[in-house]
Structure 1
Amino acid sequence: MSDTGDTPPSSQGHAPLIEHLVELRSRLMRAVIAILVIFLALYAFSNDIYQFVADPLMELLPEGSQMIATEVASPFLAPFKLTLVVAVFVAIPFVLHQAWAFVAPGLYDKEKALALPLLASSVLLFYLGAAFAYYVVFPLLFAFFTQTGPENVQVMTDINQYLNFVLKLFFAFGIAFEIPIATFLLILTGAASVKSLSAKRPYVILGCFVIGMLMTPPDVVSQSLLAVPMYLLYEVGLLFGRLVKRRSSDDEEAPDEA
């Protein structure tokens, strides 16, 4: 068998299963400890963090309005829950680094060269999705909600219900911004071609609005604010997939020309 120079390092010696399990436990413990450390560092600012997340709604409420807590433990549990979620959110790069360190020894050089940029771009896109939700979607969405209600109804949102609402949107937009990565991988692995994915645009548009309907509150505004970026990101994934396929085909033709 010829040596292609593309052999994964793990082939030099297979570690016993128990060693892999011990390493996996070690990586998981490091990730959990990192989340715990970040949580403990942020806990003193838990109320400030909640206030920051609540600002898009509070700025649109009439002067003197405030949120309410309908459950006894909500004033403690809502900031606590949000701080824990933020700790996980901040620790994502380190957690993914631990996952990468665990699986990297078994990957080929070409896979390593591709996987690391994909992981980095996935984290960045998730953060961008959450930022888009906070700075663009929330002001538009809450302005719509607060201005369309009856005049004699005073908006007094429960802090726990509000937190569940915004976390759902953060998650939805974070996942939605991963569409370029998913599209790119489909093209790169050969599971789908640029031509076939381009031909499915009408179904993709419909699917984006269906997903927007399922993952956002039942109103046209929030559904559209999720569906439209999802479709645009799908087009971005097609663009990068087209560029990579074109480059790979040029590389294959180069030796023949030589």
Structure 2
Amino acid sequence: METTFKNKVALVTGGSFGIGRATAIAFARKGTKVVIADWIENQETMDLIKNLGGEAIFVKCDVSKDNDVRDLIEKTISTFGHLDYAFNNAGIEGIMASTEDCTEENWDKTIGVNLKGIWLCMKYEIPEMLKRGKGAIVNCASVAGLVGFQGLPAYVASKHGVIGLTKTAALEYAKLGIRVNVVCPGVIQTPMIDRLTGKKKETIEQFTNLEPIGRFGYPEEIATAVIWLCSDEASFVTGLAMPVDGGFVAQ
């Protein structure tokens, strides 16, 4: 077990399923105490961390709501005393529609969770990290934050915004001991991609064809990148927008 992470505290939003779940488990494997925030508790995730000898709590949270996020951070501090790492991962895909057909409701909800949610999390995470003079934040955007995708105007706009927000925060807190980076996953095998494809063979093939490597990515592969960005090995890295995909962004 690496001493770098042992007895540290990590917060993972959207931590019950998919990339968040894999990252929460990855932190726990390294001896980190984990706070999992989500709309729904996944008891399987909590049990697995416990079976690994890890320590975790679940906090129900809607990251688009100020009170929920403030309560989340207060619960984190009251339980574990401090906060060392944060993976702001909670996000939704919204409803597929063209720019002209995107509803105001869909726009507001998608931007609220994906962009406002990450801003609110950092708003309350950063003061706690400043108290310790050190911390690492990793936000989750998407390759859709680097390129455009037809039919997802709110999602694409939100993920582009996450990258800009990350770069701004990285500049603001670099000399204060807090590093802020963002991962940009490609097509990853998660419940979100299952919803987008409807698990239809033809649609899955269309998404797979976006990846030159010839397959979907796995949540654990994103978790590895997040853990590295939080580690001391990445001590000189801040403001990085890291694509974690099969390479189609580079085409």
| TM more than 0.5 | no
Greater Rg, structure 1 or structure 2? 1
Q: Which has the higher helix share?
A: 1
